[in-house]
Structure 1
Amino acid sequence: MAYLPKKRAFHSKDFGSAMKLLKILLSSVLVLILLLGCLYYNRLILLRYSLGWITDIRYPREPNHPVPWQVGLDFPKEKLKNRPPNIIVIMADDLGFNDVTTYSGGYADLGVPTPNIDSIAKEGVRFDSGYSGSAVCTVSRAALMTGRYPSRFGVEFTPTPGALARVGADLYSDPNRLYPVIIDKDKAEKTKSFNELGMPTSEITIAEVLKSRGYHSVHIGKWHLGSTEAMRPNKQGFDETLFMESGLYLPVDDPNVYNSKQDFDPIDRFLWPNMRFGVSYNGGKWFEPSRYLTDYFTEEAVKVIETNKHRPFFLFLAHWAVHTPLQASKEDYDALPHIKDHRKRVYLSMIRSLDRSVGKVLASLKKEGLDENTIVIFTSDNGAPNYIGLPDVNSPYRGWKLTFFQGGIRVPYLAKWPGHIKPGTKYQNAITNIDILPTVASAAGASLPEDRPIDGVNLLPFLKGKEIQKSRPLIWSDGYYQTVQSEGWKLIQTERPKKKWLFHLDTDPLEKKNVVSLFPDTLAKLEKILVNYNSQMPKPLWPSFIEFPVSIDKTLDQKQEPDDEYTYWVN
């Protein structure tokens, strides 16, 4: 007979153990639900801080150390006279038309003139119709680097961090705003990572064009044309790059910095916790700059001039100033005690440091005996934005960064080349970023690429008075938002709102009167130019997935009214 084990009697203590286990499980589930609820409730905070936390883990920053700049060979002095000119392009970031005193007075009345920037115009040319390549940074810089409309190679939009896109609509959920931010989250999720978006490596940069003439090319500062190894400056023709990896001018708690936070701006609230203080050299590890970022880049630019004085060099000094986050050095802030508004004082302090930078670069050229054989160009990537809450930055023009009104694309544009450009020249014809590459290539005696269209023109014959520049259409494109300027007329058209603006700039330079209904023939002519332009362009390399409403005449902190003019920026 098979042995059957006795059934174990069920005691009360077993019931108690089961109940205890059940309570533990229920408590764990409850804690998990509460935790998930807390995470969901605070998802904006988590997403807002996540980029910074990830950056700290992936890219730990080393203490500051010297940059090992490559030293040029010591050529005999008699050969210096026959070498091609050095070329320095200084690009500010988000600098408004009214921030430079040589144009409309700027802030000289507040004790913040820009004498060093102005000196370039006094010793050379002031372009009175100088335009950026776009109303936003990446596209504008791509135009500068290639001499081509960036739409030709699919760069239509500025790369946006996925974390920012994911929280964008929620960040802008203020019920007091008349027009919402529109985000296609599906497109945002499918788009490549922020670092992978940028200018195709097949594009030929200024540095690559100058290589054939023996130039040593150096990039310092902002790039924003891609962060993968193949897209970085040192893989795009530059021999060296001191690469701005993040966006703080100094750590937020540094005793030598004054911060101005714009709580009314959701993007500003995103930047502060996520930006870091770090640079890298030629793709190496991140390390901290030695001082306030604008001064640090300037200090290193001076070293580049010193180490390359015996060979032709191209220096692209791409400052972060005066882009947000607004941070001023203590030195500059303390020099402006009469400015009582804190935000304006910080901003003007940043302009002061930018002007000092230009002065030190020019002084270094003089010290090394290079000023007579160096082309210096100064400009900004686009106009100043409305989200810093300062109404006069683009005065007297309407519009801001992220718009194609004059305030978004009319920028300071100055250049000098002693012995070639007559001091005090004021050039009236429209020029833009696409003209820089063909102009400096001509000055250097370098050939332009023949396997692709170059949209810019060589300005030297016009600046020297040998030829008169012919009128040509200039085009700016941002998805469905486009602008063409031709023969004194300017057309702005957009789908959101579905509207067209037509201005006769010769009689209405401030774009006050929309005459679109009065000149149908002119409208048709300009529309045809855009249709022809669009027919030549490929699809963008990555899609737009976020659309920002921008008031044409108001800063972000000013109350919007239903009859205010506005447009949407596609990105």
Structure 2
Amino acid sequence: MIAKFTRRAILSTAASGGAALVLGTDSASLAQAPSRPPNMVFIVADDMGHADISCNGGRDFTTANIDRIAAQGARFTQAYANSPVCTASRVAIITGRYQARLPVGLEEPLAGSTKPGIGLPPGHPTLPSLLKKAGYNTALVGKWHLGNLPDFGPLQSGYDHFYGFRSGAVDYFRHVDSLARPDLWDDDAPASQPGYLTGLLGDRAIKVIADYARGGKPFLLSLHFNAPHWPWEGPDDQAESDRLGGRNLRDFDGGSRQIYKRMILALDAQVGRVLKALEDNGLSRNTIVIFTSDNGGERFADTWPFNGRKTELLEGGLRVPALISWPARIPAGLVSEQVTANMDWLPTLVAAAGTSPDPAFPPDGINLLPQLEARAAPVERRLFWRYKALWQRAARVGDWKYLRILDNTFLFNVADDPMERANLKQRQKDIYARLEAEWNAWNATMLPETEASFTENNTGKNWVDRPGAKPVTLEPDPELH
């Protein structure tokens, strides 16, 4: 039985730098590592803010089921997305590599079928394809957003089964994309099923767990929810969906913090159902459960204590929840200050499965198991970002962060100043110059950025991404909001 814990206790634990949360087990009571490879349930929320879950300090409601993952395993306090938008970040999640190594990773975000020929190459190794070669069953339930049929899709990139949607966002009740086209799929066949999509994804995930439990092979279930991404529709808001008719997923005049709360609580309820399904099928002890988000939060998200949001390389656009449990191997209640990125999940899970990445496509992420199993001291990371809107660049090395937005440049100590208020580039000129040089060296190893102009958060203002380039006014991109 898991004891209750309060927000105050959680935050004081995090501040103490690693004392356990309430423990369900301790390291001394862990059994020997099981001989069978672990099952994996990889849960990804969409546009969730760092503090949208109560174990990260959420103040308005309690995400009891998501918090269970942290209480039974580990919580990372310094977890980053690889990008502040979803396509690029999902490229990093599924490949374990910087998204700027692939053309699809430069499409930030991928605007549905308007980019023919752009998608995740089927020949590129992925988390599901590597695990499939190691004997795993693999399924994706939820969001894909890495390219469209006939050339791209989950079944082309290592998943045995797919149930979900391919675009960046769908109406929760009508299951249509931003052009009001049906976008619900069962494998590569269109599907039609009434209901609130968060619940439908939970239903299918439970079925996958039950089916795979009977099969005897280890499995990877990627459960990639649409919640809490817009449109702002809770489980009781079908009337709002009917009013819009699926024609305005951006819904700029809609939503509220209360609706957003109901969306997250519906997500939390499905996480609880999935955890119970693992228990009912006798799988909990040797199943890795991960909960994270693709990028930082949006309009109604709680990104406390950070500034910024989705589409921005400020901390609020990049910091995400990151929880993992594996009762057979990871001590319960661990709070880790290890800096992580979501490209770390592939090397971590591949190592847990007892296999290796493809040597021709080495991961840029790191294996986190030493920090999780042995409570190893955090290792210093060098993480780099670029995002073409506003010509943004960023690097984090140790506690220091270099940031550029247009022609404005900054140096922050994000350990001392998580809100990024004090620009130290004049006081710490050597550190600023070193981080800028490291970013330039990293960028030289990536695919070149495309020549184009981009709008400031899509408001219609002209911003030119290279000196001397001719300004171009772009049409609003629905995926930016």
TM-score norm. by structure 1 comes to: 0.68
Q: Give 1:537's aligned residue.
A: 446
State which of 191, 194, 198 in structure 2 corresponds to 1:294. 198
State which of 172, 182, 185 in structure 2 corresponds to 1:249. 172
> Shift of the alpha carbon at 1:465?
1.8
Residues 1:98 and 2:19 are matched in the alignment: no
Summarize the Cα distance change of 1:245–1:536 in structure 2 as closer, same or farther, 3 Å threshold: closer
State which of 74, 85, 90 in structure 2 corresponds to 1:136. 85
Larger fraction in helix = 1
Q: Give 2:457's aligned residue.
A: 549
State which of 106, 110, 132 in structure 2 corresponds to 1:156. 106
> Shift of the alpha carbon at 1:248?
0.8
Deviation string 1:266-303 (CA, Å, 9 cap, x unpaired) is: xxxxx99734554112211x222331000000000000
Residues 1:347 and 2:296 are matched in the alignment: no
State which of 96, 99, 117 in structure 2 corresponds to 1:147. 96
Q: Mapping of 1:266-345 within 5 angstroms?
A: 274-276=179-181, 278-284=183-189, 286-309=190-213, 310-330=216-236, 343-345=256-258
Q: Give 2:274's aligned residue.
A: 361
Deviation string 1:299-352 (CA, Å, 9 cap, x unpaired) is: 00000000001221001111000111111112999xxxxxxx962221111011
Aligned equivalents of 1:116 and 1:518: distance in 2?
Answer: 45
Give yes or no for contact 1:143–1:149 (8 Å, CA) kept in 2.
yes
> Shift of the alpha carbon at 1:137?
0.1
Give yes or no for contact 2:38–2:287 (8 Å, CA) kept in 1.
yes
Summarize the Cα distance change of 1:518–1:469 in structure 2 as closer, same or farther, 3 Å threshold: same
Residue type matched to 1:351 in 2? I
Deviates more, 1:433-442 or 1:448-457: 448-457
Summarize the Cα distance change of 1:161–1:209 in structure 2 as closer, same or farther, 3 Å threshold: closer
Residues 1:196 and 2:117 are matched in the alignment: yes
State which of 159, 177, 180 in structure 2 corresponds to 1:238. 159
Aligned equivalents of 1:550 and 1:400: distance in 2?
Answer: 14
Q: Give 2:398's aligned residue.
A: 487
- Number of residue pairs matched by the alignment: 409
Aligned with 1:139: secondary structure? helix
Q: Give 2:412's aligned residue.
A: 503
Aligned with 1:294: secondary structure? helix
Give yes or no for contact 2:47–2:297 (8 Å, CA) kept in 1.
yes
Aligned equivalents of 2:371 and 2:454: distance in 1?
Answer: 41
Give aligned-pair identity as a percent. Answer: 34
Residue type matched to 2:329 in 1? H
Give yes or no for contact 1:475–1:483 (8 Å, CA) kept in 2.
yes
Q: Give 1:82's aligned residue.
A: 35
Summarize the Cα distance change of 1:287–1:543 in structure 2 as closer, same or farther, 3 Å threshold: farther
Over the aligned positions, Cα root-mean-square deviation in angstroms equals 2.6
Aligned equivalents of 2:308 and 2:369: distance in 1?
Answer: 31
> Shift of the alpha carbon at 1:212?
2.2
Aligned with 1:491: secondary structure? strand
State which of 307, 310, 323 in structure 2 corresponds to 1:414. 323
Residue type matched to 2:366 in 1? V
Aligned equivalents of 2:284 and 2:180: distance in 1?
Answer: 37
> Shift of the alpha carbon at 1:462?
1.6
Deviates more, 1:201-210 or 1:400-409: 201-210
Q: Mapping of 1:469-488 within 5 angstroms?
A: 469-479=378-388, 480-488=391-399
Q: Give 1:380's aligned residue.
A: 293
Aligned with 1:304: secondary structure? helix
Q: Mapping of 1:386-405 within 5 angstroms?
A: 388=299, 390=300, 393-405=302-314
Summarize the Cα distance change of 1:107–1:315 in structure 2 as closer, same or farther, 3 Å threshold: same
Aligned equivalents of 1:452 and 1:134: distance in 2?
Answer: 20
Aligned equivalents of 1:446 and 1:543: distance in 2?
Answer: 40
Summarize the Cα distance change of 1:235–1:489 in structure 2 as closer, same or farther, 3 Å threshold: same
TM-score norm. by structure 2 comes to: 0.80
Q: Mapping of 1:18-29 within 5 angstroms?
A: none
> Shift of the alpha carbon at 1:229?
2.6
Residue type matched to 2:78 in 1? S
Give yes or no for contact 1:229–1:235 (8 Å, CA) kept in 2.
no
> Shift of the alpha carbon at 1:160?
4.7
Give yes or no for contact 1:402–1:550 (8 Å, CA) kept in 2.
no
Deviates more, 1:531-540 or 1:115-124: 531-540
Residue type matched to 1:463 in 2? L
Report the structure number with the largest CA radius of gyration: 1
Summarize the Cα distance change of 1:251–1:372 in structure 2 as closer, same or farther, 3 Å threshold: same
Give yes or no for contact 2:146–2:166 (8 Å, CA) kept in 1.
no
Residue type matched to 2:186 in 1? Y
Deviation string 1:462-489 (CA, Å, 9 cap, x unpaired) is: 2112643421211111233111000100
Q: Which runs of 5+ in 2 are unaligned?
A: 1-32, 240-253, 460-476
Give yes or no for contact 1:229–1:283 (8 Å, CA) kept in 2.
no
Summarize the Cα distance change of 1:227–1:448 in structure 2 as closer, same or farther, 3 Å threshold: same
Deviation string 1:381-432 (CA, Å, 9 cap, x unpaired) is: 11112xx3x3x62122100000011110101110000021111100001001
Aligned with 2:381: secondary structure? coil
**Structure 1 ranges of 4+ moved more than 4 A:** 542-545
Residue type matched to 1:115 in 2? A
Residue type matched to 1:361 in 2? V
Deviation string 1:198-247 (CA, Å, 9 cap, x unpaired) is: 22333211011112221010001111111133320101011111131450
Aligned equivalents of 1:329 and 1:149: distance in 2?
Answer: 36
Summarize the Cα distance change of 1:243–1:330 in structure 2 as closer, same or farther, 3 Å threshold: closer
Aligned equivalents of 1:102 and 1:502: distance in 2?
Answer: 29
